[in-house]
Amino acid sequence: MSAAHDHEQDHELAFAGVAHLAQLVREREVSPRELVALYLDRIARLDPVLNVFRTVLGDRAMDEAAHIERRLAAGEVLPLAGVPIAVKDDTDVAGVSSMCGTGIDVGPASTDSAAVRRLRAAGAVIIGKTHLSEFGAYPVCESATWGVTRNPWDLYRTPGGSSGGSAAAVASGMVPGATGSDSGGSVRIPAACCGLVGLKGQRGRISTKESPERAYRFHGLNHIGPLARSVVDTALLHDAMTGPEPDDEIPSPPAAPPLMDALRVPTRPLRIAMSFKPVVPVQVSDEVRRPVLQTAELLRSLGHEVVERDPVYPVTGIAAVLALFMNGFAHEIEQLPKTDLLERRMRAEARTSRLVPDWLARRALAAEPRITARSQHPIADFDVLMTPVLAIPPVQLGYFEGFGPTRAMLRMLKFIPFTFPQNYSGQPAISVPTGIDAAGVPEAVHLVGRANDEATLISLAAQLESVQPWTQRRPPTEALLSQVC
């Protein structure tokens, strides 16, 4: 067999997806150690230019893969069966520092986060930790310490953020799946920019509990969610991370069947509200409107009702989210032993965030049910809300470079005007790929479900995927790299 043929087979295997790879392992067509070796080779070739991984756990991943092989041989049923997964570098992996996009190393985590522990229990192999902007505060993947992460579809555009490293890793085939975290859109935005499925489940469905020495204080805004190439992979990863934790800051929602079950049930006709109304006053570009309008026509052809209808976004709701985020950010910064290594803009934002007292954050949190009910009233009789993900297509690298906190915040509003309401309400939401635009950049739509109803989103996304397949679309990463190199 020729080396070229081997390379082609490896390339196909790299993009096979989480569910299919786990099946291949169970059928003994490939071993977990072979998968780790395959992805380590791709990381070695692609990451020097894409700059996705903050750290690669090569030897450790090989040892974990060997351990998974022994568990499988002993008869354990492992849904993830030795599949390598990347973890965003704000989520704890035992024995590895969580740098959170900064240059401040507070030492290795003593334990895995709850989400990582559950992934390991399901048979995943943690292969490395991925870049983000400092503390995930910006929806790109650039930092003074770790540099710029590139989009595999266009090396001069952002992969989005803040989970941009995880998204770029999956899109380029350096891993089949990854974790992200989402406090205002940071799973869904990079999914849209990189042509992936990105799910933010119901608040509390996946615990955000970290190691004992770390604690999130974002008042339930933060969610952990999967990034993957297909709906089935997304459902599988989400199910693996789901479950309550004792003494968790965020109570778990009512138990729900696994999302994999939703993929086995035909999608019923749904009432879908379509909206282009942003939460904040920014212009919504034609480039992001187009895929929503096209998807609306496709959904109508599949028997769904799609009506243009806008939620209400009270000013008090916007103020409440801002208060919660700023107060949470201030508490996060307070955990640091020093702040002099933070970017100057971040130090300024930290000073401003300290102006939001705890009592105001508590008041904003207590107002959530009332504000959410008011905002949802016009669409209360709809099953799903469909919007763009961002107000603009993926931007060029350096979009925030040279801007102070105020001007950077105004620029950031173009990324989050459709995504941050669900972090406040806790509702599930998903970014779904729809195609590639004339510039070669992925397009996407944003689907928002009723509270505790991830199942409808997954079922609808799977239906869209079945009639408009996107999983075989792959970025021309290696061709682009040859141009750069």
User: Look-up: residue for tokens 């492992």?
Assistant: 78
Residue 445, token pair as written in the block:
């739509």
The secondary structure of 147-186 as a DSSP string is EEPPBTTBTTB---SSTHHHHHHHHTTS-SEEEEEESSST
The CA R_g of the chain, rounded to the nearest whole Å, is 21
Strand partners, 386: 274, 447
For residue 86, what is the enclosing H or E element? Answer: strand 84-88
Amino acid at position 287, single letter: E
**Quick check: 451 and 421 in contact, CB under 8 A?**
no
Q: Are strands 53-56 and 384-387 parallel, antiparallel or unpaired?
A: unpaired
What does the alpha-carbon distance between residue 403 and residue 241 come to, in Å, rounded to a whole number? Answer: 37
What does the alpha-carbon distance between residue 279 and residue 314 come to, in Å, rounded to a whole number? Answer: 9
Residue 29, token pair as written in the block:
């067509």
| Omega of the bond leading into 162 within 30 degrees of 0 (cis) | yes
162 carries an active-site annotation: yes
Q: Are strands 142-143 and 147-148 parallel, antiparallel or unpaired?
A: antiparallel
Given the residues 113, 162, 166, 207, the one annotated as active site:
162
Residue 80, token pair as written in the block:
């993830």
186 carries an active-site annotation: yes
Distances (CA, A) of 290 to 276, 293, 430, 443, 473: 11, 5, 18, 9, 19
Q: How far is CA 235 from the centre of its chain?
A: 13
**Quick check: 410 and 298 in contact, CB under 8 A?**
no
Given the residues 186, 230, 275, 431, the one annotated as active site:
186
What are the respective helix, strand and coil percentages of the chain, to the nearest 5? 40, 15, 45
| Closest alpha carbon to 447 in 422, 413, 479 | 422
Report, as residue numbers or ranges, the catalytic residues.
88, 162, 186
